[in-house]
Amino acid sequence: MKKTLLMVALAFAMTSHAAIPQPEKMGTTQLKPLAAQTQAAVWASMLLARHHYKATPLDDAMSEKIFDRYFKSLDSEKLFFLQGDIDQFEVVRTKFDDAIRNENISLPFAIYNLYQQRFGERIGYARELLKSKLDFTVEERFQLDREKAAWPKTEDEMRDLWRKRVKNDWLRLKLAGKDDKGIRETLDKRYENYETRVKKVDSEDVFQMFMNAYATSIEPHTNYLGPRSADNFDIAMRLSLEGIGAVLQSRDEYTVIREIVPGSPVGLNGKLKVGDRIVGVAQGDAANFTEVLGWRIDDVVQLIRGAKDSTVRLDVLPADAGPDGKHVVVSLVRKKINMEEQAAKKSIIEIQDGAVKRRVGVIALPTFYLDFEARRRGDKDYKSATRDVAKILGELRKAKVDNVLIDLRNNGGGSLSEAVELTGLFIDKGPVVQQRSADGKVEVESDLVPGLAWDGPVGVLINRGSASASEIFAAALQDYGRGLIIGEPSFGKGTVQTLVNFDRNAQQGEKSRFGELKMTIAQFFRINGGTTQLRGVTPDIKLPVTSDVDNFGESSYDNALPWVAIKPAPFVPAGDLKELVAPLQKRHETRIAKDKDFQYLNEDIAEVKKLRKENSVSLNEAVRRKERDAQEARAKLREERQAASNASVGAAARTKVLAAARVKRTDDGLQADERNLQTELAAEKAAKDAKDVMLNEAAHILSDAVGMVKTDTRLASRLMPYMPAKVVD
């Protein structure tokens, strides 16, 4: 098949027309931009060039950055495009700026259409390979991460990459015990699903990818949100939606119920269960059903969501029915659904220290959520992270805990005002964070409410996934000497974003939706004058670093803003905990040196770093079996030691723990949607219920701190000289 791309002149409304390459044989669906997207691109370009914190003109230099980032976003692993494909588009490398200004953005769609064609070709070749006999006796290796690799230069080079990829997929299933027939069926279905998902990509997806290539070329945290993404972002912030209360998932072209929210319309109805398949959706009591078999999951969700107290009917194929089984029609009245899984939650960890038992209250906060619209309307019960945490603090105080630990691991941020108000629960009054806008003006965000919701000892647990609002909160408590920061250095995001809703620019009666721009408008600084930008928050007590710091975190971005400092804000520290740090770190290190769980954790971290460095695996079956057997032997020995060391657990419970661990350690070669749903849910529950080594050690550290302070009143007066103010409920 001839692979040369034809250079065809497209009619771009530019100052000079550009020759744009088109593939000689296009896919079945040619995606094109919508008028609303063209307008949104123009509005975004004006905002980004004039009002961004790092205002950057849309010119040829920016166009080149968009070019590189767009191709990377489409094919980051260099598995679809050839170098020749990239070279063919070099003629338009500097034309993206003209395309946006002249309101003709066909160019990124032409590139995507070629990507879709190449995707189909690669998957087609992979499926053909499944019919051949693969040789697992030769010694060759499969590269795991190709992000920094070069684009393949020839079709033969590309085919060799895919041959090795298919061999690795096959070998994983073979090592898991599948026979050739089962492997061939599993992989053929998997590759078919890959292609099906790509065919479901629509113009909104392509436009969002292109606009994000533009936005993130300026700075990493500026993004364009298409209408669907904007809706989901809003739901995530307010932790509520209007619907039926079922978590859905795509499996084999079906929309499957994965989880049912207790107390929701689905939960109260009682007719639906996990695993049931939704094949049709109808609005109201009389409308005809719309068949949704093969639909994108977000499109099905849009049909099911709707106004509170409205009716939706579902055509359902029960979980235990065959493809031709009897359908069930279920009618549900939509209600407001609260997403409690993402809300603040409490637990209590008891620590035995000699003859003394201490209780550490833990508050896990996944995000700094706030229902902006409900608060604006004056709703008295609007959802807020601070309000939920304040309530929990009251409950923990009544439970007589000795210390409170705020768990912010993997909390990527949220509302800035919530970070300020949450800090206010632990300090009396004072500045929390400083903001500097693009014009250099510095504003101080302060807690103005007198009193504390918790006047006792505090700790904050962070990791590399703790970012933005999490870093503001942790940094403020550290600067005030109000709490111990425990964990690994945080993400390093020290910028502030605002949302610009383009729908508000639409003309009256306009039905099109234009999406939103999440744009960086300021940089935040600690009250001590430093910033978390790039460097993050450095913990007082350091736990093992589990993340890949080279590829995750602000410092991994090529265009992150630099670290700078400004004048400190005037504030009065609540205490000074530095005197505690060295003895607590020493106790921590002594304790974990004897802790088998921590030894195993460090072994796992070392193994992951080794694999990351090697970045490849053998495709020789004998070599892989030997490696797998050695890993499983180590894991089995570890599990048996862990079970034997827990004398308080009965034999049946130990057997169950070992069985769950065995499932967890075994690579079955499958992807999530290929496993039995019940098995997948059970594995997730087991992982969730597993011992949290980091959390337990953080609780021990805080228990040590309480013990030191309670046994030395003079130390306590030096560390925490603040006067407990009136407690706020």
* Residues recognised as catalytic: 468, 479, 493
Pair type for strands 403-407 and 356-364: parallel
**CA pair distance 316, 327, nearest whole angstrom:** 5
Residue 628, helix vs strand vs coil: helix
DSSP string, 530-549: ---TTT-PPPSEEPPP-S-T
DSSP annotation of 410: T
**CA pair distance 472, 444, nearest whole angstrom:** 13
Strand positions, DSSP E, 81-222: 141-143
Pair 317, 268: CB distance under 8 Å = no
Residue among 690, 672, 543, 556 nearest 605 (CA):
543
DSSP annotation of 503: G
Pair 199, 206: CB distance under 8 Å = no
Half-sphere exposure of 567 (CA within 13 A, CB side): 7
Ramachandran class of 135: left when φ > 0, alpha when ψ lies in -120 to 50, beta otherwise: beta
DSSP string, 135-148: --SS--EEES--TT
**CA pair distance 98, 102, nearest whole angstrom:** 6
Rg (CA), the chain: 28
Pair type for strands 484-487 and 458-462: parallel
Q: 403: which strand partners?
A: 360
Which residue has tokens 């905002």? Answer: 47
Tokens of 123: 């998957």
Pair 410, 367: CB distance under 8 Å = no
Q: What are phi and psi of 646, to 5 degrees?
A: -95, 80
**CA pair distance 29, 96, nearest whole angstrom:** 23
Ramachandran class of 600: left when φ > 0, alpha when ψ lies in -120 to 50, beta otherwise: alpha
Residue 513, helix vs strand vs coil: coil
**CA pair distance 201, 152, nearest whole angstrom:** 25
Residue among 681, 677, 667, 668 nearest 250 (CA):
677
Residue 32, helix vs strand vs coil: coil
Angstrom CA distances, 566 to 214, 244, 433, 526, 527, stand at: 30, 50, 12, 9, 9
List CB contacts of 462: < 8 A, sequence separation 6 or more. 408, 409, 470, 471, 474, 485, 486, 487, 488, 490, 537, 539
Give 118: exposed, middle or buried? Use CB within 10 Å, 0-12, 13-18, 19+: buried
Tokens of 135: 């040789």
Which residue has tokens 């495009």? Answer: 81
Q: What are phi and psi of 242, to 5 degrees?
A: -110, 115
Tokens of 467: 């970012």
